[in-house]
Amino acid sequence: MYFPKKKLFICITKSNWGGAQKYVFDIATNAPCDQFDTTVLLGGDGDLKKELEKAGIKTILLKNSQRDINIKKEFGLFFELIKLFKKEKPDIIHLNSSKIGIVGALAGRIVGIKKIIFTAHGWAFNEERNFLLKIFIKILSVLTIILCHKTISVSETTKKQINKIFSKKITVIKNGLREIELKNKNSAQEILSKKIIQKNHEANVILSKNPVWIGTISELHTNKGLTYAIEAIAKIKNNVIFVIIGKGEKRKELEEQIIKLGVTNKVFLIGQINLASSFLRAFDIFTLSSITEALPYVLLEAGYASLPVVASNVGGIPEIIENNKTGILVSSKNLEEIKRSIEYLLKNPLKATSLGNALKEKISKDFTQKTMLEKTFNLYKKI
C-alpha cells in the first residue's frame, strides 16, 4: 500500500552552529526520505544553512528572522510564514527557539496546519532580564505551548519550569548525540596552538612550557557565564591555559576583561572553528559556566571525548553531570567554586580520568541519537 510523503517544515530563528541548530540538523538529515519531504526554514546564512545544503536538505531563508526583538521584523516574519505555509501546505511544522515558536505556532494555526510541534531548547524567561519582561516572555512561552499540538522538552527540568497545567502537552525527549570524529590530542593541540599564536604571538612561550589545557566551546553570550570562568582561571596559579572556542556578541567585553585581569597569555578567545567538537581532546579539563541551560549538546560531546567536566548546576545539566560521579557541579556565577573545582582536578589526575570515563559511559547509555530520533519521528505520527 502506498502512503504519500508528509511535507515536514523544520523552523529555527538563527542559522549559527549552536545546540538547537545541531538538533535541527540531526532531525532534518535523519528524517526517513520515504516518509518525509523535509525543508528547513531559517534566518541568516550561517553554518547550519551551509551544512544542510551540503547534506542535500532543502532550505528556505527567512528574511525577517533574527534573535533580537524588533516589532517590525516580528510582524514581517509572521506574514512571511503565513505566506509560505499557504503556498507550501506543510503537513507538519516543527518549531525550534522561542521567537519562531510563538510566531510560527500562531501562523500555523491561522493557516490550519494539522501538526504543530515546538521543541523547548530552554526558556527565554530564565535569562537575565528585568522582572516585567520575564513575565511577558513566560506568558508568550505558555501561549506557544497552547498553540502547538505538542511540545518537546529536552530535559525533565525544562518541563518542570512550566506550570503543571500544561504538562500533558509536553513530552520529554532528551538530546541524543551522534558519533563524533575526534582528532587525537597532539593533532588537536597543534592546530589550536597555531590559532592561538596567530591571535597572540607571545603565546608561543607559554605553550612551550606544556601547560594544562582547560577549554570550552561556547557562544560568547551573557547566558554562558564566561566572565566567571575567566576570572576563576585568572586566580589559578598552576601552569594552565584557558581556550575558548566560539563567537558572539560579548567578544569585545570578554577581550577587555582578559586585558584588565592581565591574563592575555593565559586566556585565549580563538573564535569559531568548523566542527569544533572534533578538537575536544586538545583539552585536559572542560568547563561550562552557564547561567541558564536546558540540556547542552556540548556537554554530551565533552563526555564522548571522556573529558572531566566542571559545569554549572543549572537547568538540565544535573541530568548529565552527577556531582563527583560523572563530573563536578558548581553554583552558577560562583567563580570561587569554579576555581576550587579546577584546582581539585589538577591535583587529582586519577579522579579526573575516572570522572571523564564515567561521563563517557553515561552518554553512551542514556543520550543516544538513535533514541532521540525514534521518539521524535514517532511523535510526528502520533499527534
Our measurement of the distance from residue 94's CA atom to the centroid of its chain's CA atoms, rounded to an integer in Å, reads 17
| pLDDT confidence bin for 287, thresholds 50/70/90 | very high
pLDDT for the residue numbered 2: 52
Average pLDDT value for residue range 89-105: 95
pLDDT, residue 67, reads 63
Residue 225, domain member (yes or no): yes
Question: What CATH number is attached to the domain comprising 277?
Answer: 3.40.50.2000
Residue ranges of E strands in the chain: 6-12, 36-42, 58-61, 92-96, 115-120, 150-153, 170-172, 212-217, 240-245, 267-271, 285-288, 309-312, 328-330
Please name every residue paired with 216 in a beta bridge, in sequence order, or none if there are none: 244
Let me know whether 35 and 151 are in one domain.
Answer: yes
Q: Considering only CA atoms, which of 173, 174, 178 is closest in space to residue 22? A: 178
Q: Determine the average pLDDT of the residues in 221-228.
A: 96
Lowest mean pLDDT among 122-131, 218-227, 276-285, 334-343: 122-131
Same domain, residue pair 225 and 347: yes
Instruction: Determine the residue type at 167.
Output: S
- Per the prediction, the chain carries an average pLDDT of 95
Note whether 123 and 28 are same-domain residues: yes
Is residue 64 very low, low, confident or very high in pLDDT (cuts 50, 70, 90)?
confident
Helix axis angle for 251-261 and 226-235, nearest 10°, is: 20
For residue 71, pLDDT over 90 is answered with no
pLDDT digit string, tens, across residues 40-56:
999 999 999 999 999 99
Q: Give a yes or no: residue 151 inside a domain.
A: yes
pLDDT at residue number 43: 94
User: Do 170 and 193 lie in a common domain?
Assistant: no
The answer to whether position 376 is within a domain reads: yes
* Same structural domain, 247 and 123: no
How many domains are contained in the chain?
2
Residues 154 and 197 in one domain: no
Q: Is 69 a residue whose pLDDT tops 70? A: no
Q: Which domain holds residue 221?
A: 185-366
The Cα–Cα gap between 50 and 56 comes to 10
**Residue 72 in domain:** yes
pLDDT of residue 91: 97
> Which residues neighbour 367 within 8 Å (Cβ) at sequence distance 6 or greater?
174, 175, 176, 177, 300, 303, 320
132 and 197 fall within a common domain: no
258-269 mean pLDDT: 97
**Shared-domain flag, residues 81 and 133:** yes
- Look at residue 235 in the predicted model and tell me its pLDDT: 98
Q: How far is Cα 204 from Cα 211, in angstroms, rounded to an integer?
A: 11
Report if residue 1 sits inside a domain. Answer: no
Is there a domain that residue 247 lies in?
Answer: yes
Same domain, yes or no: 328 and 227: yes
Q: Which residue has the cell 541519537?
A: 369
The confidence band for 68, taking pLDDT boundaries of 50, 70 and 90, is low
Residues 217 and 348 in one domain: yes
Q: What is residue 74's predicted lDDT score, i.e. its pLDDT?
A: 87
Looking at the predicted structure, is the pLDDT value of residue 185 above 70? yes
Query: Is the domain of 70 the same as that of 196?
Result: no
- The reply to whether the predicted model has a pTM over 0.85 is yes
Would you say residue 291 has pLDDT above 60?
A: yes
* Inter-residue contact 376 to 152 (CB < 8 Å): yes
% of the chain residues with pLDDT over 70: 98
Same domain, 350 and 378: no
The pLDDT confidence band at residue 164, using thresholds 50, 70 and 90, is: confident
